[in-house]
């Protein structure tokens, strides 16, 4: 008989667990066709994609925690969908909003990282946090967003993509500018969650959501074709 987990992974209380999205459903919207189908491609069998009617879900949360994370999602969804329409700052290198609710959006960002980190789904293996995960769980369970430096996240957007907006890549662990981070590619938006402390006045934390509600989105000069080739290589090369 299958043993059903009955402890909420977030509040750690005994509970009937809900089927929770790992990546929120609103982030899958662009990947669906007109019959609400998307494809899952695994490295084990890249030429035989499976059809999904909903984003990947897992029994993780009690009803209370699920509804709390839904509240963050409801706040974040219109902001994330509206990122491409934000005004460009005077440098021409970033999009910027000054009006984001720090607490709700930061908790949303942290919930995205945490769900992937605790997922048993092999596609999310790259988001494992090891030592940092209990601290992230405690902060989320207590609804504490911390300072901008706690699990700080940078956003980058590739405008006017042809194919990338229909693709969600598996999270990957990498080192950027000498600092450990976990990268999510969700459509044309790249989320980099940094796990290291930065020296004072380092430039990367200047891109994190600020406590006053300034959200910065980098406009990198990345080539979509190169990114697509990287995703294809990761799926077909067993050494990646
Ligand atoms: Zn719970």
Instruction: Determine the distance separating the centroid of ligand 1 and the alpha carbon of 24, expressed in angstroms.
Output: 17
Which pTM value belongs to this model? Answer: 0.87
Cβ atoms of residues 18 and 61 within 8 Å: yes
Rounded distance from Cα 68 to ligand 1 centre (Å): 9
Any residues with CB less than 8 A from the CB of 18 and at least 6 apart, and which? 59, 60, 61, 62, 63, 66
Tokens of 183: 């990268």
For ligand 1, a single-atom ion, the residues with CB < 5 A are 8, 10-11, 62, 65
Ligand 1 centre to CA of 18 (Å) is 10
Spell 179-218 as b/e; 16+ CB within 10 A means b.
Answer: bebbbbbbbbbbbbbbbeebeeeeebbebbbbeeebbbbe
Q: Where are the domains of the chain?
A: 73-236
Whole-number Å distance, alpha carbon 124 to ligand 1 midpoint, is 21
For 160-214, write each residue's pLDDT tens digit: 887 777 788 889 999 998 999 999 988 899 999 999 888 888 999 999 999 999 9
SS3 readout for 167-190: CECCCEEEEECCEEEEEEEECCEE
């Amino acid at each position: 008989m299958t043993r059903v987990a009955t402890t909420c992974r977030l509040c750690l209380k005994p509970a009937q667990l809900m089927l929770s999205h790992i990546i929120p459903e609103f982030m899958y919207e662009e990947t669906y066709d007109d019959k609400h189908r998307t494809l899952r491609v695994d490295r084990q069998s890249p030429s035989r994609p499976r059809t999904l009617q909903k984003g990947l879900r897992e029994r993780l949360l009690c009803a209370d925690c699920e509804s709390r994370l839904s509240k963050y999602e409801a706040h974040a969804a219109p902001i994330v969908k509206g990122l491409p329409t934000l005004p460009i700052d005077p440098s021409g290198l970033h999009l910027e909003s000054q009006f984001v609710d720090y607490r709700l959006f930061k908790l949303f960002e942290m919930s995205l990282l945490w769900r992937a980190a605790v997922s048993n789904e092999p596609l999310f293996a790259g988001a494992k946090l090891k030592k940092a995960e209990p601290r992230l769980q405690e902060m989320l369970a207590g609804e504490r967003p911390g300072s901008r430096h706690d699990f700080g996240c940078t956003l980058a957007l590739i405008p006017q993509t042809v194919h990338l907006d229909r693709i969600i890549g598996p999270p990957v662990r990498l080192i950027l500018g000498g600092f450990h981070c976990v990268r999510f590619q969700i459509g044309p938006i790249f989320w980099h969650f940094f796990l290291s402390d930065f020296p004072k006045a380092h430039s990367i934390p200047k891109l994190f959501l600020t406590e006053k509600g300034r959200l910065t989105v980098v406009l990198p000069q990345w080539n979509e074709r190169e990114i697509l080739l990287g995703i294809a290589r990761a799926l077909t090369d067993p050494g990646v």
